[in-house]
Structure 1
Amino acid sequence: MTVFGIVGWKNSGKTGLMERLVTEITARGLSVSTVKHAHHSFDVDQPGKDSHRHRVAGAQEVLLASANRWALMHELREVGEPSLQDLLDRLAPVDLVLVEGYKRDAHPKIEAHRAETGQPLIARDDPTIRALASDEPLSGMNIPVFDLDDTEAIADFILNEIGR
């Protein structure tokens, strides 16, 4: 599967860019899946619901299914966090997997940057970052710099990078 990432510091615009890219790229007829890395504990289940009760009771995996979607929840239970590759191996084949986060992994990436965060550019020290998407002009960069809101140009860049 072809993977391309969106990285950046907190509040840099990663999620909004991901959302716009999924809309833009799927509108062009390609299938897209996403992987989002969370640095904190999260729960997609709700206390009191049957699936939550199964999980709390000790089930390793709980698969919840309906006529509209299915979701598989897998409890790590003392096992370390899976690698990005382990997670990608679980996905059904698509034309492109967009990954939000996993900035230390080796796949190609675009860095989302907002001046208001006050954070340094990750791209200065990371050769896997192929372009920047920023809300401010950035000079002296050896990689392309796009306006953070220019979704069409960013999608064009990604699709060109992956040979589509």
Structure 2
Amino acid sequence: MNLETARKQLRGGLLLLAALQTVVSVWQYVFPRSFYDDFPTVRLDPPYNEHLVSDVGGLGLALTAMLFYAAKVMDDRVVRSALIGYLIYAATHFTFHVRHFDHFSVRDALSVGTGLGLEVALAILLLYICGRISRAGVTSPGQPATTSA
């Protein structure tokens, strides 16, 4: 894979994660009751708590900002920190849900598990691409490789 392609894939992946996180976080923060009532499978969780849902939405918006900023600047440290933060969030969210499928239909469990698992896998893949770019001698994923004289 050439470096320009890797940078485009990394930026595209960051934007995808940021877009997905934006939709859910805005919904949680701006319309917490609607999120609780209307998001598939959330009704299977414990009773509604507006404070908790809107706080999670606000934290998701902070993560969204980090991902969009990382996609804009494409600085190695910024990209890695945004992806590591996102991976920690996605992995803990995935782990919670796969341990609490008691009241879920098979279809809902597969949908939630697959969707959340794909977020974890995408974050890991993007960290891998970022590492490949760094190992190729590029100081920042958004910058061209430098050659030694």
Q: TM-score range by the shorter chain?
A: under 0.3
Q: TM-score, normalised by structure 1?
A: 0.22
> Structure with the greater relative contact order (CA < 8 A, sep ≥ 6): 1 or 2?
1
Bigger share in helix: 2
Q: TM-score, normalised by structure 2?
A: 0.23
Bigger share in strand: 1
